[in-house]
Amino acid sequence: MSMQVNRDEVAPELLPKGATRRRLIDENSVPGTQCRFDVLTIDAGGSMELRLPRRGVAWAQVLNGNLTVQGGGEDRVLGDSQLLFLANAFAGRLASADGAELILLEVPDASRFDSGPETGLPGVQSVDLGLEPMLQSEHDERTRLYIATPKLFGTRALIGELVAFPPGTVSQNHHHVGAEHFQYVLRGEATVYLNETPRRLRAGDLLYKYDLERHYCENDGSGELVFVEFFVPAEYETVWVDPERSCAWSPTGKNALGGVPSRQIATHTSDGSYHQDV
């Protein structure tokens, strides 16, 4: 049975230097998980310490405000919609001059999926999401941006996407095998069907689905539905109820800002296999 929780239902944990954490996924909420997923708020002038295990990796997206990453040999300043990837036993601080909100996914033992990530990956990487190639569904007006892939960050421990559903769009019924799968709703509302049973989704919801749990989503609201979605590890299997309607994504030739994308991605299906250009 899936697990659903809204960020506002989780009591904030006050951290020492002007930051708060809402932990939506850990072993208490999802027994046996390999993940931790947090919504973090850093006050203006605040900071928080972050230290990864030797084999751990972490991914973050700045939702609003500005974030300074202190550690890993250099300081980096990130703004809205920029992505951050940390590895190599990173130890440092996340700070903000004017305040920031971000989401953070940790995989404390990436060695289950990679060999030696603590020596094979840079300690700090960042990507401007606005420059990444925009893909569009071949069936409707849904769009996708990849936010974490083996090609972007050098690890097969996770893969992530930012998906947008315009009003009236519906995905196809399917299930996954071989990976933890969850999504966090950034804005909008919709109905998700889990084994054909409807459930309401709204901004701030975290929905964790288990293997073999059929699901699809319908944006029956008036505005755009946008969520980030993750699989841990990055390789898994997707099984479609109707194989003729399996989801395929094609390049638009543009990035999220309407300009030339930073790289090229060919048309591919969402079957969970490893695509080298993704």
Element (H, E) at 264: none
- Mean of the pLDDT values across residues 59-76? 94
- pLDDT score, position 117: 46
In whole angstroms, give the CA distance from residue 254 to residue 129.
Answer: 12
Examine residue 16 and say whether the peptide bond preceding it is cis (omega within 30 degrees of 0).
no
pLDDT single digits (tens) 146-192: 999 999 999 999 999 999 999 999 999 999 999 999 999 999 999 99
In whole angstroms, give the CA distance from residue 7 to residue 27.
Answer: 17
Give me 103's structure tokens: 């989401």
Neighbours of 45 (CB within 10 A): 12
What is the overall mean pLDDT for the chain? Answer: 94
- Ranges for all domains in the chain classified under CATH 2.60.120.10: 3-127, 131-269
Is residue 247 very low, low, confident or very high in pLDDT (cuts 50, 70, 90)? confident
Minimum mean pLDDT range among 72-76, 86-90, 119-123, 181-185? 119-123
**Level-2 CATH architecture, domain 3-127:** Sandwich (2.60)
pLDDT single digits (tens) 95-108: 999 999 999 999 99
The predicted model scores a pTM of: 0.95
Please give the residue that has the higher pLDDT: either 245 or 82: 82
Q: What's the CATH code, domain 131-269?
A: 2.60.120.10
Contacts of 119 (CB under 8 A, 6+ apart): 88
DSSP β-bridge partners for residue 228: 162, 184
- pLDDT score, position 183: 98
Provide DSSP, 171-211: PPPEEEESSEEEEEEEE-EEEEEETTEEEEEETTEEEEE-T
- Mean of the pLDDT values across residues 48-73? 95
